C-alpha cells in the first residue's frame, strides 16, 4: 500500500471529513477524495460510508484505521527517540500517574523541575486508568504497582502505606479513638469502594467498615479525601506521603495501616536515551530521597 495514501486515509478517518482532512494536510478536497478513491480501488473495498453529515468508517475502514493509528504512534515514538538523542531538555513530556499521587505529591514539586528546565512542557495526565506506554499514550508513568509489560524500563521509587489521619481541631472536638471499634463514634472519609484504587487501600477500608461505622463520606480520589479531612469533617484514609506537605495532620490509630504499596516509574525501552525522560526520572528520584530524609528526621518514616 502507498504510504502517502495511508497518511491521507488516516487524516480523513481521524477528522471524519474530506474538507477538514484537506485543511490539515494542506490539500484540496478533490485531491484528498482522489487519493481515498485510489486506495479503495487498490484494496478492492469501501473504506467509508458517505452521508450528508460526513464520513463513517466501514468495517474494513475500521480495521485499516486501527493499523494506521498503531503506525502513527510508532512513527511518533521513533521521531521522539531521534530528537531526544540530539536535543537538550526541552519540548513536551507526557507524564501519567494517579489523581492522588499527581495532585498531592508530584504537582507541588514541579516548580523545582521547571526552575531547572524552563523550556520543558509537561502534559500531566492524572487518571486511574493505566495508559499504554508502548503505544505512546504517555511517555513516562508513575504507577502504584509494577508494570506488567516486558518492553518497559521500570524503577522502584518508594513504598506507600494507607493510614488514618485527622486534624488537631477535629481530635480536640471529637476525641482520639483508642481502638478500631471507637471509629463508630467518628465519621470515616475514604475512597469510594467502586473507584479504581490499589488493592491494599481497598482492603484497609473494607476492614474498617466491618465496625459498622454509621457516618461515612466516600470520595472518588484522595485529593477530595484530604480536603474533607483538612476541613475537620472526620478521620480520613490517606497515603502516608501527605504528612510531609501537611505536617499538622495527626495520625490516628498508629497500629492500623494498609499493606505495602510499591511505587514504580516506567517508560518505554525505545525512550531510554531521551534527555527529557532522564531529567524527569532524576528529578523524581532526588525528590524521593529528600522526602524520605525529611520524614526520617521528623520520626514519621
DSSP string, 192-206: -TTS---HHHHHHHH
The answer to whether the beta carbons of residues 244 and 294 sit under 8 Å apart is yes
**More confident site: 198 or 114:** 114
Determine what percent of the chain is predicted with pLDDT higher than 90: 60
Distance separating alpha carbons of residues 159 and 226, to the nearest angstrom: 19
Mean pLDDT of the chain: 89
- Give pLDDT, residue 108: 94
Q: Which three cell numbers stand for residue 226?
A: 484530604
Is residue 191 within 8 Å of residue 222, measured between CB atoms? yes
CA-CA distance, 191 to 238, in Å (whole number)? 9
Q: What is the pLDDT of residues 183-236, one digit of tens each?
A: 999 999 998 877 777 788 889 999 998 888 999 999 988 999 999 999 999 999
| pLDDT higher than 60, residue 262 | yes
Per-residue pLDDT at 84: 58
Residue 108, Cβ neighbours under 10 Å: how many? 12
Average pLDDT over residues 264-271: 91
- Residue 9 contacts residue 41 (beta carbons within 8 Å): no
Check residue 211 and give its pLDDT: 82
Task: Find cell 479513638 and name the residue.
Answer: 177
Dihedral of alpha carbons 102, 104, 108, 109, sign:
negative
Q: Which is more confident, 21 or 1?
A: 21
pTM: 0.69
Least confident of 146-160, 172-186, 243-257: 146-160
Per the DSSP assignment, residues forming a β-bridge with 51 are 54
pLDDT tops 80 at residue 168: yes
The pLDDT of 100-128, averaged and rounded, is 93
Place of cell 486501527: 66
User: Using DSSP, how many helices (H) and how many strands (E) does the chain show?
Assistant: 11, 12
pLDDT digits (tens, 9 = 90+) for 36-51: 999 999 999 999 988 7
**Which of these, 182, 201, 195, lies nearest to 260 by C-alpha position?**
201
How many degrees, rounded to 5, is the angle at CA 287 between CA 281 and CA 290? Answer: 145
pLDDT tens readout for residues 58-105: 999 999 999 998 888 878 777 766 665 555 677 889 999 999 999 999
Report the largest interatomic distance among the alpha carbons of the chain, rounded to a whole angstrom: 78
Checking DSSP bridges between strand 261-268 and strand 152-160, what pairing results, if any? antiparallel
Residue 173: the pLDDT is: 95
How far apart CA 265 and CA 154 sit, in angstroms, is 6
186/205 Cα distance (integer angstroms): 15
- Write down the pLDDT at residue 267: 94
Amino acid at each position: 500500500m502507498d504510504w502517502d495514501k495511508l497518511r491521507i486515509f488516516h487524516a480523513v478517518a481521524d477528522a471524519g471529513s474530506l474538507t477538514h482532512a484537506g485543511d490539515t494536510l494542506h490539500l484540496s478536497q478533490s485531491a484528498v477524495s482522489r487519493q481515498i478513491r485510489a486506495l479503495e480501488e487498490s484494496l478492492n473495498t469501501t473504506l467509508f460510508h458517505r452521508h450528508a453529515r460526513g464520513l463513517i468508517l466501514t468495517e474494513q475502514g475500521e480495521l485499516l484505521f486501527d493499523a494506521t493509528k498503531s503506525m502513527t504512534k510508532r512513527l511518533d515514538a521513533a521521531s521522539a527517540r531521534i530528537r531526544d538523542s540530539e536535543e537538550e531538555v526541552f519540548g513536551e513530556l507526557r507524564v501519567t500517574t494517579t489523581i492522588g499521587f499527581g495532585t498531592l505529591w508530584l504537582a507541588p514539586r514541579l516548580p523545582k523541575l521547571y526552575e531547572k528546565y524552563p523550556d520543558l512542557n509537561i502534559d500531566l495526565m492524572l487518571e486511574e486508568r493505566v495508559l499504554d506506554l508502548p503505544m505512546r499514550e504517555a511517555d513516562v508513568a508513575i504507577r502504584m504497582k509494577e508494570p506488567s509489560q516486558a518492553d518497559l524500563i521500570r524503577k522502584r521509587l518508594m513504598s506507600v502505606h494507607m493510614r488514618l489521619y485527622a486534624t488537631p481541631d477535629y481530635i480536640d472536638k471529637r476525641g482520639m479513638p483508642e481502638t478500631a471499634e471507637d471509629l463508630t463514634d467518628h465519621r470515616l472519609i475514604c475512597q469510594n469502594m467502586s473507584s479504581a484504587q490499589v488493592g491494599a487501600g481497598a482492603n484497609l477500608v473494607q476492614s474498617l467498615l466491618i465496625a459498622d461505622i454509621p457516618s461515612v463520606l466516600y470520595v472518588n480520589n484522595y485529593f477530595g479525601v484530604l480536603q474533607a479531612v483538612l476541613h475537620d469533617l472526620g478521620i480520613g484514609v490517606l497515603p502516608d506521603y501527605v504528612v510531609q506537605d501537611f505536617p499538622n495532620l495527626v495520625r490516628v490509630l498508629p497500629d492500623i495501616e494498609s499493606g505495602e504499596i510499591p511505587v514504580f516509574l516506567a517508560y518505554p525501552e525505545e525512550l531510554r536515551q531521551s534527555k527529557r525522560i532522564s531529567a524527569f526520572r532524576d528529578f523524581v528520584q532526588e525528590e524521593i530521597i529528600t522526602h524520605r530524609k525529611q520524614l526520617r528526621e521528623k520520626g514519621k518514616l
